[in-house]
Structure 1
């Protein structure tokens, strides 16, 4: 049996009041610029971001009034955790409009709702509740706030990076041949959970599901699939065809391990190459090329740089190295991004993608993942998290950017 020491720094985390107030103030600036009178927040990570609590509740932010937090359950915990002063208990969502009228004497004429995550049935329900209010897409307002990480958020992500590094160190010491991909991932998860990893990853898209451990050994790395990524893996079954599968790990084969970590709400997303013994020359060369590409991209990531141009320059660099066919997927299945925003959700906007004209700004954080797939042979690549600074960028990842030999 495996027994892992617990991380002693697993205390109740309360988001500082000034942090929440700053986020609300920034949100109102974007609301005013967009001409939106109010925002109705229903998506749990968004509620947590703007209120500090993830209890069963709804947040209402009005441009000229104090925000209201409507709590179904559990009220004592919500009051303890949130920085919002006006907390109102409700038994049903249908009570919210009356609560707004009670507190603010009116309902808004325009109100934002996160169209990217609210199901159509819920939208119709909310429109029925606010039948005289024009409901607009509030997603850009939320994203404008969340894509720029504060000093506090960077500290939380650095904490997650520390747990991720400990977990990769554990992998290096415990990766052995003859164990299935799935079994080894189970051992990894048990260790990571003792370090503070939630075991669950937050995903924004309704067709996506976050899974922490994505291991592909030898030929399973060369198997493409449904996952929107250059590499996919077999998965445990046809119903869940992503990531680790039943294949046994062998000596001298390239092993790509992609670890998603969430600690106190914030994510880290990293991939590293491993080998038990000696990796074949072609796989080692591709692994080192991925490292070179990562450094190339990181040097290009600075305020004002255009995302699509960074993507294109990396594609050209990979082709110059001789990996045009393998970079970012099979020739007919190329991924159109090389990095994604990360924070309270594993994948957030903005995306470092083809055709994006968005410029990088200080405070943006990306998981950058130059990867190769060699059909039916192996996968090679790396993924590290990078913060845009005032003058350039730096790695938030603490795990060494290297190939690990066990």
Structure 2
């Protein structure tokens, strides 16, 4: 399909802008300037370089630096203009009959300091305030249109994991297997780029690692790390050869038409030790518990605490979601256009779940020197609990040795 044909419906953009404008008015913000690429796509349906001004009331203005014609083809917003410099933004706002905002909202969670200073010098009479949390809360609840796109991505996640038995063989390196699996994902339409919001976070498709290598920690905000191909990357598959009787973790993100599905499965060539099989079964039990009590109104941090308590009761508290003092303090996260969206099932988080939220739930056990077992599925929050969008069997896939 031509990229120009993948157009977000106009009514979808209107609903998103309307929700944001209501939030701006409630917070006493006169207008917001959107510059971050993912937020720009969410509200304008294009990732072309530019700026989106959303007044607290009235039509948004999409100002494009590069490429204007593509932005016109991709976005259904009515007011799209070509603009060569952000210094002209105040003039464009005034030409549309708006007063310059006394309080200007920007995404201060991701805006570099130098860019902040630039906009502060352009909007000399405005106070710049943070609207990033408001944007992320709006994006956390998906529309039916978005949910269908997420279902499509989840189906591709299942297809990629289903390809593993065809490619997995003893003696292959992790990176060799990853390359072939990623090529298959690309053939299904994987966009390649996996966007993350947290500063310094990055991911290339995901993690494919075997045995002790999967339990090597890294800087990434993830229960798994991996050695990677070099210290500059410091995560993911490396050159270690896959062996019999060890768990092979395939933890991949499928990115389709902007939307992400996060998915982990465990494979093995030959039988695994009973210790690992029992640990995996315990993680599946925790997943089933959460699927029942993660209903609308449940508090994200309380779900995290329940999962931690359940892991401790089952004897895995020391290795749940990592090993050692620096193991991560979350058990699930929202997904959508980015991999680290609201809500977070994390220590201290107080966000109530809402129907339409999407959560990647990932109870895992990390056993240093042995490997990783556990599960990750992308779920939709419904009135009765979590509905898995990824459908592949959760049990460990054992291949003949």
Q: What TM-score bracket applies, with the shorter chain setting the length?
A: over 0.9
2:319 to 326, 330, 334: 326
Deviation at 1:261, TM superposition (A): 1.2
2:306 to 306, 313, 328: 313
Following TM superposition, the consecutive aligned residue runs of length 4 or more in structure 1 with deviations greater than 4 angstroms are 8-11
Task: Show the 5 A alignment for 1:3-402.
Answer: 12-402=5-395
Looking at structure 2, the residues matched to 126 and 399 of structure 1 have their Cα atoms a distance apart, in angstroms, of 48
Deviation at 1:105, TM superposition (A): 4.4
Deviation at 1:264, TM superposition (A): 0.2
Deviation at 1:9, TM superposition (A): 10
Looking at structure 2, the residues matched to 38 and 90 of structure 1 have their Cα atoms a distance apart, in angstroms, of 19
Q: Is the 8 A contact 1:210 1:346 kept in 2?
A: no
SS at match of 2:286: helix
Change over 3 Å in CA distance of 1:9–1:399 after alignment to 2:
farther
Deviation at 1:234, TM superposition (A): 1.1
Q: Is the 8 A contact 2:291 2:386 kept in 1?
A: yes
Q: Is the 8 A contact 1:290 1:371 kept in 2?
A: yes
Looking at structure 2, the residues matched to 354 and 123 of structure 1 have their Cα atoms a distance apart, in angstroms, of 31
Note the residue ranges of structure 1 that are not aligned, 5 or more in a row: 1-7
Deviations 1:201-224 (A, max 9, x none): 011122101221301211112322
Alignment size in residue pairs: 399
Deviation at 1:363, TM superposition (A): 1.2
Deviation at 1:91, TM superposition (A): 1.3
Note the residue ranges of structure 2 that are not aligned, 5 or more in a row: none
Taking only aligned residues, the RMSD between alpha carbons, in angstroms, comes to 1.5
Normalising by structure 2, what TM-score?
A: 0.96
Q: Is the 8 A contact 1:65 1:104 kept in 2?
A: no
Looking at structure 1, the residues matched to 211 and 365 of structure 2 have their Cα atoms a distance apart, in angstroms, of 13
Deviation at 1:253, TM superposition (A): 0.9
Looking at structure 1, the residues matched to 200 and 253 of structure 2 have their Cα atoms a distance apart, in angstroms, of 18
Q: Is the 8 A contact 1:178 1:250 kept in 2?
A: yes
Looking at structure 2, the residues matched to 322 and 292 of structure 1 have their Cα atoms a distance apart, in angstroms, of 13
Looking at structure 2, the residues matched to 307 and 205 of structure 1 have their Cα atoms a distance apart, in angstroms, of 19
